[in-house]
Structure 1
Amino acid sequence: MKIKNITTKSYFLGLFLFLLGLTLFLSGANLPIFIKVLYLLATILSGYHVMIEGFSLTVTETKARKKFSPNIHLLMSLAAVGAILIGKFSEAALLILIFAGAHFLEEYAEGKSKREITKLLEMNPDNARIIHPDGSIEEVSVETVQVGDTLQVQNGAQIPIDGNILSGIASIDESAINGESIPREKTTGDPVFAGTINGNDSFTMTATKTSDNTVFSKILSLVDQSQNNLSKTATKIKKIEPIYVTTVLILFPLVILSGAAAFGWSFSTSIYRGIVFLISASPCALAASAVPATLSAISNLAKNGVLFKGGSFLSNLADLKAVAFDKTGTLTKGKPEVTDFIVADDINKDDLIDIVSSIEDQTNHPLAAAIVNHFDQAKKLDIKVETKIGTGVIGQLGDDEYLIAKPKAFSSVDDQFTLQQKELAKEGKTVVFVAKNQRVVALLALMDTPNSAAQPTIDYLNHEGIDTVMITGDSKQTGEAIGHNLGIKKVITEVLPEDKVKVVNDLESKSLMTGMVGDGVNDAPALVNADVGIAMGEGTDVAIDVADVVLMKNDLNKFVTSHRVSKRLNKIVWQNITFSMAVVTLLVVLNFFGLTDIGIGVVAHEGSTLLVILNGLRLLRG
């Protein structure tokens, strides 16, 4: 930081000396030597760091790569030295001042993208209020909190650790975790996350993780990783830069020699035009075409609850040709829900709801909770309940016996219910019958229903010409029914967990850039093998750890947003590359016709670099 401050002060001192020399020159002062000294000092003070960086980095990179690896700073340094040698002191100073000034602005612009992401670090919790067994409260470092500790979270405070609410009601701002701006109401038993902000009420909580395993700590880890992973285009540009600069240096003496031979220039004019060529052909704008834009896109998505582990994965997203989806918890809610309740005409529906809900409330099979939650307004009746394994649940109410069981438990069923059961099964629904005194009087249909974002996500991908595949362990009938309703192009059913990798590999073997979206431990191998693995943020830790992209809120709409941002990123990067090379070509051509000079070349060249960076920073916006 101290060195940076010295460099900045030195730059402004150089700028002052240049302006003083320019003022003396324009006023007609007869001090040519003094004015040249001012320009020379301005060049050295404002650009010594550029020259040092140009030569030292060239030496370092050449040693590391074991081949000549020059950089843009070296080109500008040679151009400035050349201008001084031919007596163009003012233009040498102008060149360095504009280049160094533009360099500072570039660093600020690139840093803005990084700051947008890394400001999350400022939100990392430091302290926690631990409640000891004797009731006393002590403020401790969050790193000392252990699983099972009881903590107090005051109103307006930051939640220090992941855990569950023990007592109290809270309105919590979770935007740091999932990008959701609306606070969420939470009460006893609900999970809370480190880094989120409590509202106006205090509560107590139990820690369920240590500080290094919280969701927020994983976000910070992903953020740090993302800034060090460039996109494919940015990586290629970085590799091409020394080759490009070497080519310009080779062409430099050829330009000087051809000037006299082809254009009849004098030796001094040839040298001058060669220096302008060095400036014009410098790939500053090209070098800045991808990195600021990529960091801006990653920053934008991070603020909205989508974390990329690197720019390359964001860039790849736009090239996807196939996306495989796990069904449960990804396309669906992951929990069965009652979709149909059909009752015989001679039965009172409301009374039967009370009976069914009261029976299921006393059982623990997977469908019971779905039924009770669906009929949450039902009256609770005093019913004696017995569970018979392999048969179903029996409830006794007065003289009447009720049986809730799957269709195979019944030998005689009215045609009305048999036909409806078959139709509902075709839709992928699980059907249970309700019998009163051995007569089937109602049926319940349940299904793991698609989440609200599944349909629009599949519609979007189909519209983009991307193949959609659903992988599920469900039966053929159930899986195909759900896939058909969502509009998925291909459904692969009865898949064992270990076979999901094979599905992804088969897609990739067809030369398709493939994505995999999942949330479970059994999805992890497929997420690793896919070109882009996308994990649902509320899924398992394993899936999140191995994926390339994490949707912090289980919202597939964010996947669509990410794909759109990826397409926009690639478009902007290629706009930048095309524009930067067009400016270079134009300046080089104008130089050969004698229509530009060092000043014009520097302004046009560095101006194009700033425009390229600003174009990339547009991706910081939503």
Structure 2
Amino acid sequence: MNTELKAIERPIEVNESFFEKVKPHAELIAAITSGVLIAVGWTLEKIDWSTTSIIAFLFAFVIGGFAKAKEGIEDTIADKELNVEMLMIFAAIGSAIIGYWTEGAILIFIFAMSGALETYTMNKSHKEISALMELQPEEALLIRGNHEATVHVSELRIGDHILVKPGERVPSDGKIIKGQSNLDEAAITGESLPVSKGIGEEVFAGTVNVNGSLTVEITKPSSDTLFQKIIQLVQSAQSEKSPSQLFIEKFEGTYVKSVLAIVVLMMFVPHFALGWSWTETFYRAMILLVVASPCALVASIMPATLSAISNGAKHGILFKGGVHLENLSHLQAIAFDKTGTLTKGKPEVTDIIVVEELERQPLLQAVASIENHSNHPLAQAIVTYVKKETGSTLAHPESIEDVSGYGVRASLDGLDWKIGKADFVGKMEAESFSNGIAKQLASEGKTIVFVKQNETLVALIALKDVVREETKAAIDLLKAKGIYTIMLTGDSEKTAEAIAGESHVDEYVAECLPETKVEKLKEIRKRFGTVAMVGDGINDAPALATANVGIAMGEGSDVALETADIVLMKNDLPRIAEAITLSQRMNRIIKQNVIFSITVIMLLIASNFLQFLDLPFGVIGHEGSTILVILNSLRLLKS
């Protein structure tokens, strides 16, 4: 009994699988079938099988035009507004009424082909999303005590521990609690080189564990991962229409009504005013119905926008909608946050000066041993540097006291140590140390940490939030495009001046609070017009919202995804220039499409009134222009 049931079910499964594969290509298959039927009908007409040829043409009408006719009727009922699809239906029917079955069928065929091409563009733009969704695993290896169990990712909860083996994809966002490995994060950041990660570092769903076994603690449910937010963001962007597209859609309804009104007048006025025959009058009215339809104009924008959004997503530039992509090409100025945007966001040791009487390595080891007990970013930067520089094991101080706002006091190896600000170790002594070099280093935007051993100042360590390697190139690219660059920072005047000089920005504003940045951005908008703000998406949120275009950095942080209009999935500033170039290309292609489609429509209408144009050429000219603008838009899919 069960065997029989399985035998019955299997063909059904095969059929369902077949239809699923064919479904995305249904429009193209229908269009090709329509074309074959037209060829059959034309052949039958040539051998005087007129009735049979008409039947073939009727099938060509129904099969080729069904999808577009259904779409047109449904949209007309839903929007209570006539559309281009309805014009095509009327034109095809009109052609058949006056005996031009071949031309009417060709009109349907080319219209169906242009529809299939537009659907291809849509499918192509969704391809990256489908590919992303396939990258996230459906199952995870859950660790409970000494037992392991394979569970669906939807069952994972915050705090669960999972095992990610070499070669596997990380199933959900979390942090490493055991192990070290290289992770391929190309799906998230677009960066091809694997990133080395160890205990305490974050891992993201969809990334590949290259070579080490990792135990990961889940920090987010599978529905709220960065991966899922990327997918939702791009899906949302593809559904949001640009201002140009919205204008065309509003214009379409009025235009269609106007064309139909003129067609009705065309059926009567030339007969009485110009002495045309009724046949000629009706024939010209049908040609007008065909050539005046704004198919190419309507198809000028959406395929281009979708292609550009798809291209951006492929390169780690996520647009939240066509409006932001369109606005990007009009930028006159860009304001940058400093920390984490122009700079790495973490202080690094740049200079170490030790008195000649002491050996450098033992002293640094002692300083790092003391600073290792502090969570201050400067202390952690010193520890990181010393570990990398010396590779030696750190000691444990006999006693340690944190003096809030000043530094740390400790005893180590029988010596008393003070590490911190100039005021903490003695201001006059600090200012005169090594011929007053501290003043020079401070003028370069560096933070100075002094080291005192017993009662003697023995060393100075300078740290700085270092400008990213790619910052200068990125700013220079923007300036080459004629875009004015401004840095807004909460740092002191000296630090701001030093960083501005290194990063090549045109102007800087120091000592900015979040509300100050908003005021400055308003001033910049008055000066330049369209302005972008680039920040980390957290304390810069008000400024991001104030700018015409908000661009978020921050390795794809949650707040960045929610706040900005455009997200750079990797902290890669040169991507901004790429995004602007992509926007300019899109607007240029849209402009080409619009000018070309309007020119073709005007030429065809004029030729029809002058009685130069026959219906077959009207069909080819009109529908051919639609296909050409879609093909032109598809160029944006290429890098």
TM value normalised by structure 2: 0.88
Partner deviation per Cα, 1:267-315 (whole Å, 9 max, x = no partner): 2122222222222222111111111111111111112222221111111
Task: Quote how far apart the aligned CAs of 1:437 are.
Answer: 4.9
Report the counterpart of residue 42 of structure 2 in structure 1: 22
Per-residue CA deviation, residues 151-176 of structure 1 (Å, 9 max, x unaligned), is 12233322111112233333322111
- 2:421 pairs with 1:406: yes
Q: Give the 5 Å matches for 1:441-590.
A: 441-510=458-527, 512-538=529-555, 540-590=557-607
235 and 119 in structure 1: CA distance in 2 versus 1, 3 angstrom threshold:
farther
Q: Which amino acid aligns with 1:559?
A: I
Q: Deviations over 1:156-215 (max 9, x none)?
A: 322111112233333322111111122223333332111222334433211111112211
Aligned twin of 1:73? 85
Match of 2:120 in 1: 108
Query: Which has the larger displacement, 405-414 or 567-576?
Result: 405-414
Query: In the TM superposition, what is the alpha-carbon distance from 1:399 to its structure 2 partner?
Result: 7.4
* Aligned position for 1:39: 57
Q: Secondary structure at the match of 1:377?
A: helix
Per-residue CA deviations over 1:538-576 (Å, capped at 9, x if unaligned) read 365334312222222222222222122111111111111
Question: Among 158, 179, 183, which residue is 1:168 paired with?
Answer: 179
Match of 1:240 in 2: 251
CA contact (8 A) 1:536 1:544 kept: no
In structure 2, the CA distance between the partners of 1:191 and 1:270, relative to structure 1 (3 Å rule), is: same
**Per the alignment, do residues 485 and 53 of structure 1 end up closer, same or farther by CA in structure 2, a change over 3 Å counting?**
closer
Alpha-carbon offset, residue 430 of structure 1: 1.0
Partner SS state of residue 583, structure 2: helix
Q: 1:505 to 1:592 in 2, by over 3 A?
A: same
Offset at 1:416? 6.2
Seen in structure 2, the aligned counterparts of structure 1 residues 55 and 185 have a Cα distance that, compared at 3 Å, is same
1:412, 1:76 → 2: CA distance?
Answer: 88
| Cα separation, 1, equivalents of 2:630 and 2:551 | 29
How far apart are the structure 1 equivalents of 2:42 and 2:473? 63
Give the 3 Å change call, closer, same or farther, for CA 276–456 of structure 1 in structure 2: same
Given that 1:414 and 1:440 are in contact with CA atoms closer than 8 Å, whether structure 2 keeps it comes out as no
Q: Aligned residue pairs: how many?
A: 613
Supply the distance in 2 between the matched residues of 1:313 and 1:8 (Cα, whole angstroms): 32
Counterpart contact for 2:117–2:630, Cα < 8 Å: no
Describe the shift of the 1:208–1:7 C-alpha distance in structure 2 as closer, same or farther (beyond 3 A): closer
Identify which range, 122-131 or 409-418, moves more after superposition.
Answer: 409-418
Q: Report the CA distance between 1:254 and its aligned residue.
A: 4.1
Question: Does 2:626 match 1:609?
Answer: yes
Matches within 5 A, 1:127-526: 127-133=139-145, 135-257=146-268, 259-260=270-271, 265-344=276-355, 347-375=358-386, 376-378=388-390, 379-380=392-393, 384=398, 386-387=400-401, 389=403, 392-394=407-409, 402-408=417-423, 409-410=425-426, 411-413=428-430, 415=432, 417=434, 419-510=436-527, 512-526=529-543
How many Å separate the matches in 2 of 1:239 and 1:302? Answer: 28
Q: Percent identity?
A: 43
Amino acid at match of 1:553: K
State the alpha-carbon separation in 1 of the partners of residues 24 and 489 from structure 2.
57
* Paired AA for residue 562 in structure 1: A
Shift of 1:402: 4.8
2-side partners of 1:468 and 1:399: how far apart?
Answer: 53
Residue 466 to residue 127, structure 1, CA distance change in 2 (3 Å): same
Would the alpha carbon gap of residues 588 and 343 (structure 1) be closer, same or farther in structure 2, given more than 3 Å must change?
same
SS of the aligned residue for 1:138 comes to strand
The 1:97/1:508 distance shift into structure 2, 3 A limit, reads same
User: Which deviates further from its counterpart, 373-382 or 392-401?
Assistant: 392-401
Q: Deviations over 1:360-394 (max 9, x none)?
A: 33444331221122222324575656446265445
Match for 1:119: what amino acid? A
Partner of 1:521: helix, strand, or coil?
Answer: coil
Structure 1 pair 450/8, CA: closer, same or farther in 2 (3 Å)?
closer
Please give the secondary structure, in 1, of the residue aligned with 2:570: coil
RMSD between aligned residues: 2.8
List per-residue Cα deviations over 1:231-275 (Å, max 9, x = no partner).
121221122111222222222234455645776543212222222
Contact kept in structure 1, 2:340 and 2:554, CA below 8 Å: no
Contact 2:593 2:629 in 1 (8 A): yes
- Name the CA shift for 1:273/1:151 in 2 (closer, same or farther; >3 Å): same
Residue 337 of structure 1, CA deviation: 0.9
Q: 1:599 to 1:372 in 2, by over 3 A?
A: same
Measure, in 2, the Cα distance between the counterparts of 1:130 and 1:360.
Answer: 38
- SS, match of residue 170 in structure 2: coil
In the alignment, the residues of structure 2 paired with residue 455 and residue 48 of structure 1 have an alpha-carbon distance, to the nearest angstrom, of 56
Q: How far, CA to CA, are the matches of 1:576 and 1:11 in structure 2?
A: 24
CA contact (8 A) 1:519 1:535 kept: yes
> In structure 2, the residue corresponding to 1:161 is in which secondary structure?
coil
Q: What is the match of residue 99 of structure 1?
A: 111
Q: Quick one: distance in 1 between partners of 2:413 and 2:50?
A: 116
Q: What residue identity is the alignment partner of 2:232? A: S
Distance 1:431 1:278, change over 3 A: same
1:216 is displaced (CA, Å) by 0.8
* Cα distance in 2 between the residues matched to 1:132 and 1:400: 48
Q: Normalising by structure 1, what TM-score? A: 0.90
Gaps of 5+ in 1: 63-68
Residue 130 of structure 1 and its aligned partner are, at CA, apart by: 0.7
**Aligned residue number for residue 82 of structure 1:** 94
Partners in 2 of 1:226 and 1:176 — Cα distance? 18
